[in-house]
Amino acid sequence: MIRVLIVDDSPSAAEFLSNVISSDPEMEIIGVAANGAEGLKMAERLRPDVISMDINMPVMDGFETTRRIMSSCPIPIVIVSSIYNADSVVLAFKAIEAGALDIINKPSASSGSGENRGVRDLLLTLKAMAGVKVIRRSADKIAPLAAERPAIAVTQSQIKLVCIGASTGGPPVIQEILASLPADFPAPILIVQHITPGFSAGFATWLDNTTSLSVHMASPGELPLPGHVYIASDNLHLELLPDGRLNLTSHPVCNGVRPSVSRLFHSAMAVFRNSALGIILSGMGKDGAEELKLMRDAGAVTIAQDQASSVVFGMPGEAVKLGGATYVLPAYSIAAMIKNLVKPI
């Protein structure tokens, strides 16, 4: 059984979550905390397999609770919160930065548990995160492998575009990568991050506030510029047009998702060929794996996050299995490799 702790200040929301989660035969509720301070004490005492964490709570909010849990008794945490305002979204991503693994929009009790997609997503996410090995956030990070150099026959100035695809576990790695790149980075960066609808704009704002690059939501017809990062919108594929401009489409889902990493990588290969750098990070499923292989076959440099540093080795694992990765690197080495590969023309 997966042992779940719920931290939520709303009695009705906590009761609904408790009923939904305990209805799954593989999970049991071992405690319900009414605020973050109480949740911290229960986490330390009960040591659950996974925590469902609200954000806006009295006494101690979800961000501070996450920060303290990850520094004292690391436990997988999923942020389960309704979107009330921009401040809620900022706190949610601060919790991700502090060590939470994923963000899920709190499902509505009015929808019922049977046919509610939000409920299904919540249960799947809690199960997946319960098996993740988390580390104490106060521990020192291993220094980047600055000595690594690409050992392939590619001219660094050839790379004119960087494409990144990620899902579960991706946001903190993306933030770490972008924070390591200079403001005058000589190529545009396009990102498809699978995330709960409603959080994409907050994700872009968080990255813009915590990195030196200019990060914003992608707009149709926009010409990607060096030093700028473009985030795919909710429920729209991010692609490149033949002239290199951005395009947002509502074409059918690909690999069960929209936006799809596959659609981005395929269009990057078609337009930039070996001048594109493809990167696939932590995430469930296989979105983007086949297209990363196509990019490599077209002469592009490709990178997959390694298993040890991935929260979920689904997407990068599939890419590695297919032979789609030129390099398989730990999260802390990816930014160094990007800087080695992408130089001013």
Confidence check: pLDDT of 335 > 70: yes
Separation CA 201–CA 204 (nearest Å): 5
Predicted local distance difference test score (pLDDT) of residue 220 = 97
User: What mean pLDDT do residues 292-315 have?
Assistant: 95
Instruction: Report pLDDT digits (tens) over 306-323.
Output: 999 998 899 999 999 999
Contact 75, 69 (CB under 8 A): yes
Q: How confident is the model at residue 89 (pLDDT cuts 50, 70, 90)?
A: confident
The answer to whether the CB of 43 falls within 8 A of the CB of 5 is: yes
Question: What domains appear along the chain, each with residue ranges and CATH number?
Answer: 2-130 (3.40.50.2300), 156-341 (3.40.50.180)
pTM, full prediction: 0.87
pLDDT score, position 254: 95
DSSP, residue by residue, 223-249: PP-TTEEEEPPTT-EEEE-TTS-EEEE
Position with higher pLDDT, 112 vs 2: 2
Instruction: State the angle between helix axes of 170-179 and 331-341 in degrees (0 to 180), rounded to the nearest 10.
Output: 40
Residue 204: which pLDDT band, with cuts at 50, 70 and 90? Answer: very high
- What per-residue confidence (pLDDT) applies to 116? 75
DSSP letter (8 states) at residue 313: B
Catalytic sites, residue numbers: 167, 194, 287
Q: Give per-residue pLDDT as tens, 68-87.
A: 999 999 999 999 988 766 77
State how far the Cα of 257 lies from the Cα of 105, in Å rounded to an integer.
17
What whole-number distance in Å separates Cα of residue 110 and Cα of residue 83? 16
DSSP for residue 257: B
Distance CA 241, CA 230 (A): 15
